[in-house]
Structure 1
Amino acid sequence: MDALAGLLEGPRARGAFMIRACFDPPWAVRVEDRAPLTVMLMVRGDAWIVPESGERVRLRAGDLAIARGPDPYTCADDPATPPQALILPGGECHYPDGRPLNGSMDLGVRTWGDRADGATVLLIGTYLVRGEIGGRLLDALPPLLSLTSELWDCPLTPLITAEVTRDEPGQEVVLDRLLDLLVIAALRAWFARPQAEPPAWYRALGDPVVGRVLRLIQDDPAHPWTVAELAAKAGVSRAALARRFTRLVGEPPMAYLTAWRLALAADRLRDTDDTLGAIARQVGYGSAFALSTAFKRVYGVSPQEHRARPGQA
């Protein structure tokens, strides 16, 4: 598995929130849903994304923005336009004074706003729980990123535009997979930019010593690795590996190995019906008890609680 594939394999939408938002200026929507990741693809017109802190982003037709939660932000035709609606967790929509909108802006299947043929059309896809997005990927992203149509040409726009308003059997699964594909395509383009700032471990994969150690860990997490064995495989001393790995990755080799094993365990708990003992063996723990103890120490919940409520860990 190459480094980028390892980073992007995480998106797994399940019943994600997708909508076609249509507005006529002036318009503004305040988003406080605390969703871990939201994708906004501009189809027609233009808009501003204004975060609580940091630089605001202007979107034109063909541009895309990704907002990483849980911080709120505002989408508007102009940064000065006051919000007309408030989006809360669970997809609840209120007026700014707290009164519920009660469906007054519904325009049909997954369509919302002023009028279906509004001057501004924005496709929005939201992952509702953190468990649907790999933690390493979320940690690698800024709170708000954007791609202009000059940097990438999204071939998925016509397909998503057509599918988002359909109401057919299996439609949620179709939209979930399209959202995953859109996120992966967008982030691949974003990480490929000359000025991109990928996470430290991603950059470290280019190092002849640390890169080899990272690949050993990622390819065989169940192996009982020690610093001495990893150093021998990389052709350096234990002390040299520890210094170099910590400097480039930001944490010691064994700390990275533990985090990698637990991240894999969290994914397997969410995506499979394997027993805790089986998962423990797959990721390098000697027993279900050892995995459970380490998992609870890092994630704050037991593996069983994570499996039952994947968004909580």
Structure 2
Amino acid sequence: MDAHPRSNGLTRGDPLAGLLEGPRARGALMIRACFDPPWAVRVEDRAPLTVMLMVRGEGWVVPDEGERVRLTAGDLAIARGPGPYTCADDPATAPQALILPEGQCAYPDGRALNGSMDLGVRAWGDRLDGSTLVLIGTYMMDGEISGRLLDALPPLLSLTSEEWPCPLTPLLMEEIGRDEPGQEVVLDRLLDLLVIAALRAWFSRPEAEPPAWYRAMADPVVGRVLRLVQDDPAHPWTVASLAVKAGVSRAGLARRFTELVGEPPMTHLTGWRLTLAADLLRDTDETIGAIARQVGYGSAFALSSAFKRVYGVSPQEHRGRAGAGLPMGGGA
């Protein structure tokens, strides 16, 4: 296939680039949270991904399940939804506010809080010059972050300023307070860059736990097969043809691939094709038939059958839900 290297959502030969190309914010929530201790905010917005960059002061991110993370100035945390968590000056501080879906805010007793803590353009909290300042960026819709990337992340990860001095902090601080035409688009792209740069640093750490298929890229046999199917999903691959390319037997490839990746080769290929199809349905106006051919299905009907079997909705329904800002499967 002579497609452009990035036409199928990845960079050839670079699995990390393919994984990190997923973040594409659209009207993401970007705010400066400004507090004086004691402070605590309970987050129950079910957002797929939220980034917290501590600019000054310190605080904690305390998930309902798993290890809590302490942040000091320059540190960054990324929370993968939909699990709730609390941000606070101290883990013992009781929440003063709840962050709910669709940007709604409430007091802990349920009374509406919207507007009462606004501090101006994209600022929220006690006072603008509070001793604690956190830049927060939230992807509001499932489709803004690829499922493959979300599956590769723990519920909560962090980077210290020593591990990754954020070069984007001054630019983010300058842009987040502006109220100019097109500003949301500027902030969306800056948020994408922040996430990509942070995750690249996180994946490079020895203790990081990337997905099995990513680790399998280092295997001389399975890595070659993964690159073949990722670079050319439209090719009519079979286990036999992949085995020939890898220089091993069909049975040997099937066994080795399943051991390292956690699923058989054809199952992995189907998942990859449908992931690409979901992204193309969301991000382009191409027909379902054209998308089917790009990702290796012979017809729109064949793609629709496979898509609905895995995702529970048709390609057309998925496109409509993505355009309306709804999650892929049942319910808003």
Q: Structure 2 length normalisation: TM-score?
A: 0.94
Distance 2:66 2:84 in 1: 12
Distance 1:261 1:3 in 2: 15
Q: Tell me if the contact between 2:104 and 2:114 (Cα under 8 Å) persists in the aligned partners.
A: no
The within-5 A match list for 1:282-297 is: 282-297=294-309
Could you tell me which amino acid in structure 2 is paired with residue 115 of structure 1? R
Deviation at 1:312, TM superposition (A): 2.1
Runs of 4+ in 1 over 4 A off after TM superposition: none
- Residue 169 of structure 1 corresponds to 181
Where 1:39 maps in the other structure, the secondary structure is strand
Q: Tell me if the contact between 2:289 and 2:300 (Cα under 8 Å) persists in the aligned partners.
A: yes
Task: String of CA shifts for 1:31-77, please: whole Å, max 9, x gaps.
Answer: 00000000000000001000001110000000000000000000000
Aligned match of 2:115 in 99, 103, 106?
Answer: 103
Aligned match of 2:212 in 195, 200, 204?
Answer: 200
The within-5 A match list for 1:164-313 is: 164-310=176-322, 311-313=326-328
Task: String of CA shifts for 1:177-207, please: whole Å, max 9, x gaps.
Answer: 0000000000000001111111100000010
Distance 1:138 1:263 in 2: 12
**Within the alignment, does 1:133 sit opposite 2:145 as a pair?**
yes
Deviation at 1:102, TM superposition (A): 3.3
Where 1:47 maps in the other structure, the secondary structure is strand
Where 1:122 maps in the other structure, the secondary structure is strand
Could you tell me which amino acid in structure 2 is paired with residue 144 of structure 1? L
Distance 1:274 1:178 in 2: 27
The unaligned stretches of length 5 or more in structure 1 are none
Where 2:226 maps in the other structure, the secondary structure is helix
**Within the alignment, does 1:11 sit opposite 2:26 as a pair?**
no
The within-5 A match list for 1:135-150 is: 135-150=147-162
Could you tell me which amino acid in structure 2 is paired with residue 312 of structure 1? P
- Residue 128 of structure 2 corresponds to 116
Could you tell me which amino acid in structure 1 is paired with residue 33 of structure 2? A
Distance 2:94 2:63 in 1: 14
Distance 1:217 1:101 in 2: 50
Could you tell me which amino acid in structure 1 is paired with residue 327 of structure 2? Q
Where 1:112 maps in the other structure, the secondary structure is strand
Aligned match of 2:171 in 151, 154, 159?
Answer: 159
Distance 1:209 1:265 in 2: 26
Task: String of CA shifts for 1:80-105, please: whole Å, max 9, x gaps.
Answer: 00000000001001000000113110
Distance 1:295 1:92 in 2: 33
Distance 1:120 1:131 in 2: 32
- Residue 49 of structure 2 corresponds to 37
Distance 1:180 1:102 in 2: 27
Distance 1:199 1:102 in 2: 39
Q: Structure 1 length normalisation: TM-score?
A: 0.99
Identity %: 83
The alignment yields a C-alpha RMSD, in angstroms, of 0.6
Task: String of CA shifts for 1:118-159, please: whole Å, max 9, x gaps.
Answer: 000000000001100010100000000000011011100010
Number of matched pairs:
313
